[in-house]
Amino acid sequence: MKAGNIILPESAVKRQVLHFRDSEDLVIVAKGDSRHDGFAIAREKGCECWGLNDMRYPEMTMLFELHERERWEGYSKDLGTIGIPVMMQECEADVPTSVKFPMQSVMDEFGIPYFNNQICLMLAFALQTGRFKNIYLFGVDYRGTERAEQEFERPCTEFWMGVAMGRGCNLYTSPQTNMMTYVGYQKGVIYCYTPNYAAPFEGFKKQLPHLWAEYILGHWQGRAIPKEVYDHDHWMDSLGKHCTEYVHERWRESERLKVEQEDA
């Protein structure tokens, strides 16, 4: 495949043209521990290499920063100077290399409004260009400290990996990633065919209430889980009540510590 321009839908700000390297390979890199292996692959192949947010590495050929301005201004004040295309919600006058992400054309092509993180949007855009045969996902490990949030994001990333494979792309991931694994982080377990295949799920069920509670504590500021989240069956009912109790306990402890600090 020859290097060439990709012309995106015109915006009110400027005509948008992206120039990709002469390669069928694309390395998508997030912030996980395996990111350095991804950059090594990008250097070896001399191919496209896409990063996100506040990542700044010489191998990157494009940065994705699709958050709202008031968010990225807090950690990426240098976007106007990084010198590579920056994919954003809108072209920004103070980011000369900004490119408006073609969200509408992505939706027109796939018709699937299922995107809960930027990796998924990067994959969908890569597929829409029709340029890449081999896609490498590194730093997309889903095994960091923010486990609750990552467990909510992981299924969506895996879904778009499946879409990519369905379109004939070869997908490569880090050996240390938790993507495409069985619940409980067990690799190679096949439902019904692996002896004791249900054992990982039993362990995962014990972890799940705490994962839910951690996520809600961080994102809902300690409010109780709405009943519609857990009124499907008895197990979900127990899960919801456990989470609510756990969250309230943590919230009360936080308030107690706050009062003690104010009185000190």
pLDDT in the model for residue 17:
79
Whole-number Å distance between alpha carbons of 25 and 132: 6
Nearest CA-CA partner of 140 in 23, 2, 34:
34
Sorted by sequence, the CB contacts under 8 Å of residue 53 that are 6+ apart come out as 31, 63, 64, 65, 67, 72, 75, 76, 118
Q: According to the model, what pLDDT value does residue 262 have?
A: 82
What span, in angstroms and rounded, lies between the C-alpha atoms of 120 and 199? 30
Q: Burial, 202: exposed, middle or buried (Cβ in 10 Å; 0-12, 13-18, 19+)?
A: exposed
82 in Cβ contact with 75 (< 8 Å): no
**Does the pLDDT of residue 163 top 80, yes or no?**
yes
Domain covering 4-173: architecture:
3-Layer(aba) Sandwich (3.40)
User: Per-domain residue ranges for the chain?
Assistant: 4-173, 199-257
Both tokens of residue 72?
Answer: 């990225």
pTM assigned to the model: 0.75
Rounded to the nearest 10 degrees, how much is the dihedral formed by the CA atoms of 239, 243, 246, 248?
-140
The conformational region for residue 68 under phi > 0 = left, psi -120 to 50 = alpha, else beta, is beta
- The 10s digit of each residue's pLDDT in 43-85 is 999 999 999 999 999 999 999 999 999 999 988 889 999 999 9
194-226 pLDDT per residue, tens: 888 777 667 666 666 666 665 555 554 445 445
CA 43 to chain centre: 23
Q: Strand 17-20 to strand 4-7: parallel, antiparallel, or no bridges (unpaired)?
A: antiparallel
